[in-house]
Amino acid sequence: MDAQRTLLPDGRWHFQHGPMDIVIGASGRPACVEAAHAAAWERFTGMLDELVQELAAMRQPVSGDCPLRGPIARRMWHACQPYQSSFITPMAAVAGAVAQELVACYAVDGVTRAWVNNGGDIALHLTPSQSVRIGLYADLSRLSIGEILDGVQTDGQFEVASVLPVRGVATSGWRGRSFSLGIADSVTVLARTASEADAAATVIANAVNLQDARIRRRPACELKDDCDLGAIPVTVDVPPLEPALVQQALRAGLKRAQALRAAGLIWSAALVCQNQVMTTDAAERVTLKNRVADGRRMQLGSVFA
């Protein structure tokens, strides 16, 4: 099937082609925004074929020098390169890298801000004094058809302002579109770029983990024939766990996130597991219910709701 696009009632565009499902919004002078949308669509139509040509190489672990040729594929590889001491393939950054490629179409005069949301991995364009507010939905298991139809109620929101060194937001977890080695319901990362945020979210979500016989795992290749993870066991079910065990898993992930922050690879992160939250800015345990009920702000570095 060829790439398709739909203009949404609120002026955003929906681009879809194979596994790529993207929503784009932009602000600025109408003629400039329209031209940027046209450029993004032109770029999008050839993306899937471009990526498929190097798919076999992108499913190989990152090591040595980058063997990839296309700009998106190379961006994926370089976003994952800092984590090559453990098993990781460029596919860990594919959604963020695609969003980042498209948002470049909006970095032109007359477009004041733009956001490209590729299944929850978001690339941003912000000119001075501009900002964008992004919602956090922590646990996809709670999402129902009724809520989708009536309006999604997010667990929190945060604002990314142009003064921050953040132009990418990504979320990973065992309930998401991709496989995870850990038990996090969600790990949301803010970073310099969408591809870097995507790779880091994958790594941190994998680290939110513990060994417990009640957690069900299966080899990735049994769930998807062409998975880049091969026979590596991935999480398929996490039963309700004792709060102390949830804290143990979150602390393991938080330790990894704090190390990435110290290395300059991320700006901040929020880790969620079974209604408990830890962030790189506050290691204390809190619950999502308390945050919503008390109206407290979910702070991620200098990014807040």
Q: How far is CA 209 from CA 31, 194, 220, 271, 291, in A?
A: 49, 24, 17, 12, 24
pLDDT averages per 10-residue partition of the chain, 305 residues: 93 95 97 98 97 96 96 98 96 97 98 95 97 76 48 70 97 87 95 98 97 94 86 94 97 98 96 92 50 35 28
Distance CA(98)–CA(89), nearest Å, equals 16
- Confidence at residue 155, expressed as pLDDT on a 0 to 100 scale: 66
CATH 3.40.50.1100, applies to 4-294: no
Q: What dihedral angle (degrees, nearest 10) is formed by the CA atoms of 234, 237, 241, 243?
A: 60
- Confidence at residue 185, expressed as pLDDT on a 0 to 100 scale: 93
- Confidence at residue 31, expressed as pLDDT on a 0 to 100 scale: 98
> Which string of b and e fits 200-216 if b means at least 16 CB within 10 Å?
bbbbbbbbbbeeeeebe
Provide the 3-class DSSP secondary structure of residue 232: coil
Task: Classify strands 111-118 and 20-28 as parallel, antiparallel or unpaired.
Answer: antiparallel
